[in-house]
Amino acid sequence: MKRVVCSIVAFTLITGILLLYFSQTVAADILGHTYINAPEDNKKIENPFSELDSFTKELPTVKEPQKKVDEKSKLTLGQLRKKYKSTFVTNGPNVKRIALTFDDVPDPRFTPQILDVLKEYGVKATFFVNGQRVLNHPKLAKRIHDEGHVIGNHSFTHPDFNKISMSAFKSEIKKTEQAILPITGYIPKTIRPPYGEITEEQLIWAAEHKYRIVNWNVDSLDWKGLNKEQVLTNILSNTRPGAIVLQHGGGGHGSKLQGTIDALPEVIKALKNQGYELVTVPELLGIEKSK
């Protein structure tokens, strides 16, 4: 049997505690069994590290603290409008003018019917287009332009700007401009973010590049598939001087916008009877339609 004297020392990195166990004679026989000559009773120990193993298993796991986004430092849309009021608007000045706007166009299911009504009543509106839809329906996009309406940028694929990177945001704007330019001959100055959502970094970029971010202060809620009377109530009960009205001229699969189409003649007549002039967004804000 071969004998060797050794000292066993363990240091736990987790707790920072130095553990001194023993300095005893350790022996191994020809069969490979390990023994320790303990001074108190010379008891055979099959695994001299069992107590250390048991101890370390019971130690708590130390996790790296996770970095959290400071939501308190993120400004609300209302705060962003106040901070960037020359770039980010929801309404025009307090005058007897109102701008009707239509999002998510062109859409062959609904946009032609809306254009027919506007033409019948001699009203010019603002259409916020999706670049992908412009590429899919260029003739319908051209009709919007040819009939005297203003075209604004509503992104290329309709993402939530809060959930995409800055480079992706810029791409959404630029790709839509590339789709619009051959049809209109101009790059729109106005941008309407999908869902009305935008970040401060995106607003700063928009301001630096002379865009105007345009949301709304009257929401028809027509995207919910409301009927004519519901759309009428939502618009007429909330309109005021300088209002920007949100409606939709297109939507996703299964969208139902017949309520908007049916209500539009009544909306136009009611607002005109109240003395309002119906104008485009650039006319309301006193800005150019192009950059």
Task: Please list the active-site residues.
Answer: 103, 248
CA angle 275, 250, 97 (to 5 degrees): 15
- Burial tier of 72 (Cβ tally within 10 Å: 0-12, 13-18, 19+): exposed
Which among 182, 168, 213 has a CA at the least distance from the CA of 195?
213
Residue count (the chain)? 291
Which among 82, 89, 287 has a CA at the least distance from the CA of 189?
287
CB 53 within 8 Å of CB 10: no
Q: How far apart are CA 10 and CA 163, in angstroms?
A: 49
Alpha helices per DSSP H over 25-136: 50-57, 77-83, 111-121, 131-136
CB 113 within 8 Å of CB 144: no
